[in-house]
Amino acid sequence: MKVLVTVKRVPDPYAKISPNADGTDIAREGLTMAVNPFDEIALEEAIRLKEAGKATEIVAVSIGGAESQEQLRTALAMGADRAILVQTEEPLDPPSIARLLAAIVQREQPQLILMGKQAIDMDDNQVGQMLAAILNLPQATFASKITIEDSTATVERETDNGIETIRVPLPAVITADLRLNEPRYVALTGIVRARTKPLETLTPADLGITPKARVRLKKVEKPPARQAGKRVADVKELVRLLKEEARVI
C-alpha cells in the first residue's frame, strides 16, 4: 500500500509571531519554520503503518517555495521514502491547494492519503475535505485512531459529541487529530540517510494547473492589547458595565 502524506512548512509552534511592518503578512525574517505538527502526526502514522507491514511506500508532498525542501528533508529523515515538492511562490487558498494535491494523487495513485486536519498557520481545516470531494473519495477527518484491514480503514474520529467510529473503503483521505499518536524524535542517522533519498520538484504547470487563489489575505495585525482591569463600586455598577460595555449579559 502506497501512502501519500502532506507536509506543510509553517512557523514553529513555539516561535513568537508578529505582523510585518506594512501588515501584509507576519514578519518572516529570522522566523523558525517547522513541519506543521498535524502533518507530523499524519507522517508518524504512515511510518507506523509501514513498520507494521501495512504500508510499503511513503511519499511526502509539499506545496510552496523552494525552502519547503527543508521540511521534506525532515519528513525523509523521519522515515518517508521519497518526496515531491510542487514549487510555487503564488499565494494559495485551500481550493487551489486541494486541486494541486488532487493532481499529485492522480499521478501517484496512493491507496491512502494522510494529512493533518489543518495547518497551524492559517487554521483553515478545509484541504482534506476538498481533496476528497474533488477526487470523489471517502473521507475520515479528525482521526484519533486508524486501523487498516484489507482495503478498509476503521477510523475513530474526535467530535464534540465524543468518539465516532466510521469505516471507509480505500483509497480514502484521512486527516489526523492531535491524539492520533506522538511523533518520534528525528534520528541523526535518519537525517544522514535522507541525503540520498529522492526529492522531486514539480511546478503547477507540470501538473497542468494554473492555481488562482480566490481568497486573499488583506491584513495582518496584532490583537488589541488587553485593557487594565477597573475597580467597580458595587454589584449594580458591575451589572451595568457587563451589559453596556462588555455586552456579555
Partner 1 sequence: MKNISLRGGEFLLREVEPSQVFTPEDFTSEDQAIAQAAEDFVRGEVQTRNAEIEKQAEGVTVGLLKKAGELGLLSGDLPEAYGGLNLSKTTSTLLAEKMSLQASFAVSWGAHVGIGTLPILFFGTPEQKQKYLPKLATGEMIAAFSLSEANCGSDPLSARTKATLSPDGKYYLLNGEKMWTTNAGWADLFIVFAKVDGEKFTAFIVERNFPGVSVGREEHKLGIKGSSTRRVILENAQVPVENVLHEIGKGHHVAFGVLNIGRFKLAAATLGGAKEALTIATRYAKDRQQFGQPIANFGLIRQKLAEMAIQIYALESTVYRTAGMLDEVFHGIDATAPDANAQYREADEEYPVECAILKVFGSEVLDFVADETMQIHGGFGYTEEFPAAQIYRDSRINRIFEGTNEINRLLMLDQLMRRALKGKLPGLMEKIQALRAELNQPQMPTPDPADPLEAIGRYVVNAKKAVLITAGMAAEQVGTELEEKQEIVGHLADCLIQLYAMESVWLRTRKLQQKGLDITIPLAMARVFAYDAFDKIEASARRAIHSFAEGDMLQILLTALKRYTRRTAEVNTMALRRQIAEYVTQHERAWSAAGK
Residues that bind partner 1 (CB under 8 A): 12, 15-16, 29-32, 69-70, 73-74, 77, 185-192, 195
Q: Which residue reads 540520498 in cell numbers? A: 196
Specify the residue, 63 or 77, whose C-beta has the smaller distance to partner 1: 77
Q: Distance (Å, rounded) from C-alpha 223 to C-alpha 142?
A: 28
Specify the residue, 195 or 216, whose C-beta has the smaller distance to partner 1: 195
Specify the residue, 11 or 133, whose C-beta has the smaller distance to partner 1: 11
- Shortest Å, Cβ 28 to partner 1: 9
The secondary structure element, H or E, covering residue 105 is helix 94-108
Amino acid at 113: I
Q: Distance (Å, rounded) from C-alpha 174 to C-alpha 49?
A: 13
- Shortest Å, Cβ 67 to partner 1: 8
Non-local CB neighbours of 104 within 8 Å, separated by 6+ positions: 4, 61, 84, 86, 207
- Shortest Å, Cβ 17 to partner 1: 12
Specify the residue, 186 or 241, whose C-beta has the smaller distance to partner 1: 186
Q: Distance (Å, rounded) from C-alpha 7 to C-alpha 69?
A: 10
CB 153 within 8 A of CB 121: no
- Shortest Å, Cβ 20 to partner 1: 14
